[in-house]
A and B are shown apart, each in its own frame.
Chain A
Amino acid sequence: MEIRLQAVDIHKTFILHLQGGKRLNVLKRVDLTVEAGECVALTGPSGIGKSTFLKILYGNYKPDSGRVLIYHLGQWINTVEAEPYQILDIRRSTIGYVSQFLRVIPRVPAIEIVMEPLQRLGLSVQECRVRAEELLRRLNLSESLWTVSPTTFSGGEQQRVNLARSLIYPYSILLLDEPTASLDEKNRAIVVQLIQEAKRRGTAVVGVFHDRTVREALATRYFNLSMEESG
């Protein structure tokens, strides 16, 4: 049993100052431990805080209290208390995150978006390119699109670029927020296959999967956030 990630006693409230200080209590006393090779599917009705929880695990949202412990390069780091550069360091080499939407950078071609995480780790341009091409080919992204900025891509094309970007490096933790939402059946199956490969390598996966087929294929365990909240 190799634990990769541990969320302890997470509470999250949003205070909307522009709406008269309205409080949204989203997460209460959430505990989750994830081991290498596991895939935990977050479940519960929409609006219960599944994406919020994933964002907290990624260090994108800050919980009111609790700890998020990440096993990073041989040591445990609590990202709730960590310095910004430590979180960036963790994202560079330990946690991959796939959001529902690609943040497109004008002028940067798809292939470079995919290569970037590897380049930041110091791999040669040539090596990064080969791996990016391999992955984009597997994800059936038409070769004519590789050198184009994804600004004009369809939702499904953008999502595949997004996935390739996070699957190009064998992160030990993968966070997936609806990774197949805008894909057709054929590409969905390929993504499932790629994530299964990551699990076999020992990646700890936490995800929100709306698609039942995808969820059932990938999940080794379900984690219901609504039950967690009342319990």
Chain B
Amino acid sequence: MTHLKEPLLKVMGVTKYFGDRVGCRDISFELWPGEVLGIVGESGSGKTTLLNTLSFHLEPTRGTILYWMEEEGPVNVGQLPESKKRHLMRTEWGMVRQNPREGLRMRVSAGANIGERLMAIGVRHYGRIRAEVQRWLERVEIDTDRANDLPETFSGGMLQRLQIARNLVSRPRLVFMDEPTGGLDVSVQARLLDLLRALVAELHLSLIIVTHDLGVVRLLSHRLLVMRQGEIVESGLTDQVLDDPHHPYTQLLVSSVIQA
């Protein structure tokens, strides 16, 4: 991550209500190219709502999200036509969900799950798609013999790695991740984290990662937002927030972690 004049994403006063219940309120921050931003908080703190709002899976009630597109520069994402939003989601953005079954197409083969994203960005050459699929399966440590198998036959950890490959094959500039290690065994988590760490460095990815696991953000994220009841209560450099928490809620979160 280097000094850059322009952010990749600028979030201003984003608020989401469900009826009169607050999902998240007055969220503002900038994300820089190559930066990994962690969002932590307990269940119900609004972190997943925020992620879904930022990625326009939910319509914000208020607020503006600017995104610097590769070619066109800054666009107000909320004002993009629906077709363009969808295009952005398939090309420059990626979304890794906690449950890989929601992010994968379970009725087509593992290889097709990866290849499909490439076709969406206009790659037509079959040989090239095949080669990229192979390369990505290897990269996420899935045996290439399994390319023609349905995801249903994969373990939880493999499914999550497949979902990551599906998202990264199109070289997105911004990836959203919702609890990517949630629901996995500890040893499987470690492997996934190690993989994510390497990919982030290698691809210079910008990443917004929501998790309740402080170990995950300590390892992956440069900067941290702590959310409580829909609002940001503390933010800053990850190790500073975790090692010298100032807000009572952050102190509670940090002290609640059981040291292994």
Contacts and interface: CB of A to CB of B under 8 A. Distances in A.
B1 interface: yes
A18 interface: yes
Interface centre among B3, B201, B219, B244 (most CB of A within 10 A): B244
B175 to A, nearest CB: 18
Nearest to B256: A18
A74 to B, nearest CB: 13
Interface stretch (B50-58, B83-91, B127-135, B246-254): B246-254
B219 A61 contact: no
Given A55-B243, A107-B190, A87 B248 contact: no
A88 B2 contact: no
A84 B190 contact: no
A19 B42 CA distance: 21
B171 interface: no
A143 interface: no
Interface residues of A, number: 22
B1 A89 contact: yes
Interface string A167-188: 0000000000000000000000
Interface centre among A61, A85, A119 (most CB of B within 10 A): A85
B11 to A, nearest CB: 16
Interface stretch (B69-77, B159-167, B233-241): B233-241
Contacts of B3: 85-86, 89
A59 B201 contact: no
B222 A85 contact: yes
B35 interface: yes
Contacts of B246: 15, 62
Contact of A105 (B194, B237, B255): B194
A210 B178 CA distance: 45
B17 interface: no
Contacts of B240: 59-62, 84
Nearest to B34: A85
Contacts of A15: 246
Interface residues of B, number: 27
Interface string B197-211: 100010000000000
Nearest to B248: A17
A17 B251 contact: yes
B226 to A, nearest CB: 13
B35 A18 contact: no
A108 interface: yes
Nearest to B219: A105
B248 A18 contact: yes
B236 A88 contact: no
A47 interface: no
Interface string A112-156: 000000011000000000000000000000000000000000000
Interface string A4-21: 000000000011111000
B74 to A, nearest CB: 19
Contacts of B244: 14, 55, 60-62
B68 interface: no
A78 to B, nearest CB: 14
A45 interface: no
Interface string A55-98: 10001111000000000000000000000111111000000000
B223 interface: yes
Given A59-B237, A62-B236, A85 B35 contact: yes
A18 B252 contact: yes
Contacts of A88: 1, 222, 237
B140 to A, nearest CB: 15
The 10 closest A-B pairs by CB, nearest first: A17-B248, A106-B190, A84-B237, A61-B244, A84-B223, A107-B194, A17-B251, A85-B1, A60-B239, A87-B237
Interface of A: 14-18, 55, 59-62, 84-89, 105-108, 119-120
Interface of B: 1-3, 32, 35, 190-191, 193-194, 197, 201, 219, 222-223, 236-240, 243-244, 246-248, 251-252, 255
13 contacts: A17-B247, A17-B252, A18-B255, A59-B237, A59-B240, A60-B240, A84-B237, A84-B240, A85-B35, A86-B3, A88-B222, A88-B237, A119-B201
